[in-house]
Structure 1
Amino acid sequence: MSARTKQGSAASRVFVAVALTAAVIVTALAAVLVVDAERSERSEAEEVTRAVAASLASLPEVAESLRAPEPSETLQPLAAEVMTRTGLDFITIMTPDGIRVSHRDPAEVGRHYLGTIPSTPRVFTEEFTGTLGPSVRTIVPVTVDGELVGWVSVGVTIGSIWSKILPRLPFVVSIALALLAAGLVGAWLARRTTRRVAGDLPAGTIRDAVASYESVRTLGEALRAQTHEHGNRMHTAVSLLELGRTGEAIEILTETSRQSQELVDQVAARRGGDPTVGALLLGKAAQARERGIEWSAEIDPHAPRSVLTAVDAVSVVGNLIDNAMDAAAAADAPRWVRVAFRSTASSPAGLQVEVSDSGAGVPEPLRERIYEHGFSTKPGGAQGRGVGLALVRSIVTSAGGEIELRDDPTTFVVTLPASVP
Structure 2
Amino acid sequence: MTSISRRTLLAAGAGAGAGGLLGACGSNTGRGGGGSGSGQLAQWYHQYGETGTEQAVQRYAAAYKKADVHVQWRPGNYDQQTAAALLTDSGPDVFEVNGPTLDQIQGGQVVDLTELLDGVKDDFNQAVLAPKTYRGRIWGIPQVVDMQMLYYRKSLLKEAGVEPPAGLDGLIDAARELTRGKVKGLFLGNDGGAGVLGGTPLYAAGLRLVTDDGKVGFDDPAAARTLGKLHQLYAGKSLLLGAPADWADPSAFTQGLTAMQWSGLWTLPQVQKELGDDFGVLPFPKDGGAGRPSVPVGAYGAAVSARGKHREAAKEYVKWLWVERTDYQEDFALSYGFHIPARISLARKAAKLKSGPAADAVRFTTEFGYAQPLSWTPAAQTAYQDALSRIIRGGAAPESELRAVVRKVSAELDRVKKQS
TM-score normalised by the shorter chain: which range applies?
under 0.3
Higher relative contact order (CA 8 A, sep 6+): 2
The TM-score, its normalising length taken from structure 1, stands at 0.21
Larger Rg: 1
The TM-score, its normalising length taken from structure 2, stands at 0.21
Which protein has the bigger helix share?
1
